Structure 1
């Protein structure tokens, strides 16, 4: 079901080891028997300039790149230089990080190219239920308690920083987190959407969007309005400069098919006072849950299709792409793969980037990968973790390996 049963796991320390000075090969040798070999040996360190060597090393898989840093001091400096980390523009496939413990942030990262799992320790994050969002090698974490502690980090180099607390209402009922990195300027934007029920009317929800810019180090409040019959959720993504948020219908007397909707906010139109409800796009069908993702600047949604008479029961999973405010179905999970998850809950985890979409059940370690280019479904290699007790949960998120 989940691919081959064998695997190889490596801790992150397997890739980062002590470096040694690499001395050029001498053209002379005191041993007469090796004069010919010594005279013809040439060190690449003496020939290749840094930019060419960076280009060669960047073709390696991510795990091998950081092992290459142990070759010599020069390679170590190149691999860990800021210029090299931002210069990796080759098509490295994204990894998927799977939490394997409910109370901690322990887990494994899956490389779809080598089909191997790596024991990876994440910085900053304390529990698996924290909010996560990733872009161009950076991952943003937000705690799930107060929802004000936000960190931005590179999980491979383990560099991180804590950004100021976002403005807006304290202790919101629902929150979303999204990050977008500009590869040209190396700056990033973090968007937090908050939703809190009005005390006097359960159909009214305060909804706000707050934007943090790394260039200025400041937050700004972009949206503050009251939603009637709708509330914010916990799903959002930034795609092509636009923040998309999934909202949920709270009007029990409304159309049952409109359980979810999509609203958007253009991050470049900071002075606009247009209500986000004017941008509302309904979902294509009744869904048990939906996950939003940026796949090469295309907005993609993975949704659980609900039964018509029992909308809390999932009967299938489909993938849609948004085209001019209309959803187009690009794939539907074959029934044999849907059954392969076993007893699938009405909600599940899903992330995607670079033409790969990962789908995971919260109740098991089974991980399904869909290739949007090849239109192919495939189980990952089996995760080296087994379920130890019935209530053990597994979640995960996309881990972009490009810095």
Structure 2
């Protein structure tokens, strides 16, 4: 079966074979190379003289798509790639991919965008069954939580298709609000998962019970090291882990004189475990009035992408900003230029945004257009046109980013 795919340098579509993205092989279209037939006899194959360790080093520096394609070159290359799969920390860091799919009750299937080669691939994501599942990613692993049963949590490597279901998370099947975060170690490949739950206290409109549930891959067990009753504040679906610290975005449920303080970020040190200090007493206000906020870990730095609300109507979005938290103070990194903001068409007050390394993705729920921001270059740029099409006016899209890796398992 073939799928329409964009070429690397244009937005024209080419036919590509269906990609398996399994642990054994992935099929990709070969990239043609210009060569002079008359000089072929003079060429010396580096494969003959290159030692195994140098071959593995060269392969480890390639984009993951090229590494997987190298398996089919010959037996020696296949064995070299196998070594990369089985050896910790041999592969170079990869730019994060973005998996885009439609919001529906149907089985989730979509396309993954590779920023290194600027290509989209047809992609079947393991585990995820519905678009209402929560997701979080770190160092090649993606954590997923069932939207209908909040106790079901999965961890997978989307490239190798390796996955596992964790022990049931504490708190039961449902929660008024829940947020998910994962942090994986690049050295040991151990990981920590956090499920933050927030439920309204029965009969109390302004009281919300927050619980932080922590899973350790080394012990395979959950603990609940922290609980607090929030007054006039509630949790949401947005949290992230940076350097062993959980950051959790909360929302005001009361009437505020200053609309800029409708959101705050709670900070919880995961290493302290049983800490009885009130998190609200140390909460950090957001830098301005936001319609929504998206938290992400970029090189162990907390980054927030937020919809900037209008001064007189805070729920109406007028732009998008990016901030970095330094010593509990927000520093503005960039604001989306107006031409890119207009390029999405009608932009809702909430949107999808995630990232890793130095790359941030932003996507409107009402459009398959995908915008990127490079933190190191401070550069805004559209991705190659997505193969997903808007087939009816109310069709919605969403997505999330993950780092493609071969050398980490769940």
Using structure 1 for the length normalisation, give the TM-score: 0.89
Name the counterpart of 1:100: 102
Q: Distance in 1 between matches of 2:17 and 2:132?
A: 24
* Correspondent of 1:6 among 8, 12, 18: 12
Q: Give distance in 2, aligned partners of 1:398 and 1:73.
A: 33
Once the two structures are superposed, residues 226-248 of structure 1 have per-residue CA deviations (whole angstroms, 9 ceiling, x without a partner) of: 00000010000001111110000
Of residues 230, 233, 246 in structure 2, which corresponds to 1:230? 233
**Does the Cα contact within 8 Å between 1:211 and 1:220 map onto a contact in 2?**
yes
Q: Which residue of 268, 277, 280 maps to 1:274?
A: 277
> Highest Rg: 1 or 2?
1
Is 1:393 the counterpart of 2:399 in the alignment? no
The answer on 1:150 being equivalent to 2:156 is no
**1:289 matches 2:296:** no
CA distance in 2, matches of 1:89, 1:331: 31
Q: Does structure 2 conserve the Cα–Cα contact (< 8 Å) formed by 1:174 and 1:194?
A: yes
Count of residue correspondences = 382
Q: Give the corresponding residue for 2:142.
A: 139
- What does residue range 133-282 of structure 1 map to in structure 2 within 5 Å? 133-168=136-171, 170-253=173-256, 255-282=258-285
2:360 equivalent among 344, 357, 362: 357
Q: Secondary structure at the match of 2:55?
A: helix
* 1:69 equivalent among 51, 54, 71: 71
More displaced 10-residue stretch of structure 1: 141-150 or 359-368: 141-150
Query: In structure 1, the residue corresponding to 2:77 is in which secondary structure?
Result: helix
Residues 368 and 379, structure 1, Cα contact 8 Å, conserved in 2: yes
- The question of whether the paired residues in 2 share the 8 Å contact of 1:174 and 1:232 is answered with yes
CA contact (8 A) 2:151 2:171 kept: no
Q: Distance in 2 between matches of 1:89 and 1:395?
A: 29
Counterpart contact for 1:175–1:233, Cα < 8 Å: yes
Distance in structure 2 (CA, Å) of the matches to 1:14 and 1:216: 30
Task: Select between 294-303 and 104-113 the one with higher mean Cα deviation.
Answer: 104-113
Corresponding residue number in structure 2 for 1:345: 348
Report the alpha carbon displacement of residue 74 of structure 1 after superposing the two structures with TM: 4.2
Please say if residues 369 and 385 of structure 2, whose CA atoms lie closer than 8 Å, have aligned partners that are also in contact: yes
Are the equivalent residues in 2 in contact too, given 1:6–1:381 (CA < 8 A)? no
Partner in structure 2 of residue 367 of structure 1? 370
Deviations 1:331-351 (A, max 9, x none): 011111111111000000001
Judge conservation of contact 1:100–1:108 (CA < 8 Å) in 2: no
Instruction: Give the whole-Å Cα distance in 2 for the aligned partners of 1:243 and 1:45.
Output: 50
Q: In structure 2, how many angstroms separate the alpha carbons of the residues matched to 1:260 and 1:192?
A: 20
1:253 and 1:201, CA in 2 relative to 1: closer, same or farther beyond 3 A?
farther
Distance (Å, rounded) in 2 between the aligned partners of 1:18 and 1:354:
25
Counterpart-to-counterpart distance in 2, 1:315 and 1:270: 40
For structure 1, list consecutive stretches of 5 or more residues without a partner in the other structure: 20-36
CA distance in 1 between partners of 2:26 and 2:231 (Å) = 59
Following superposition, the deviation at residue 186 of structure 1 comes to: 1.3
Shift of the 214–82 alpha-carbon distance from structure 1 to 2, 3 Å rule, reads farther
Q: In the alignment, is the contact (CA less than 8 A) between 1:7 and 1:382 conserved in 2?
A: no
Asked if residue 113 in structure 1 is aligned to residue 116 in structure 2, the reply is yes
**How much is the aligned-residue C-alpha RMSD, in angstroms?**
2.3
Q: Which shifted more, 110-119 or 269-278?
A: 269-278
TM-score under structure 2 length normalisation? 0.88
Tell whether the 8 Å contact from 2:88 to 2:187 is kept in structure 1 after alignment: no
What is the CA distance between 1:43 and its match in structure 2? Answer: 8.3
Q: Secondary structure at the match of 2:251?
A: strand
Unmatched tracts of structure 2, length 5 or more = 1-8, 28-40
Equivalent position of 2:32 in the other structure: none
**Kept after mapping to 1: 8 A contact 2:226/2:274:** no
Cα deviation per residue 1:268-303 (whole Å; 9 max; x = unaligned)? 111322121122000011100000000001100000
Which whole-Å CA distance do the structure 1 matches of 2:239 and 2:21 have between them? 35
SS of 2:88 mapped into structure 1: helix
* 2:21–2:159 CA contact under 8 A, matched in 1: no
Partner in structure 1 of residue 35 of structure 2: none
Deviation at 1:353, TM superposition (A): 1.2
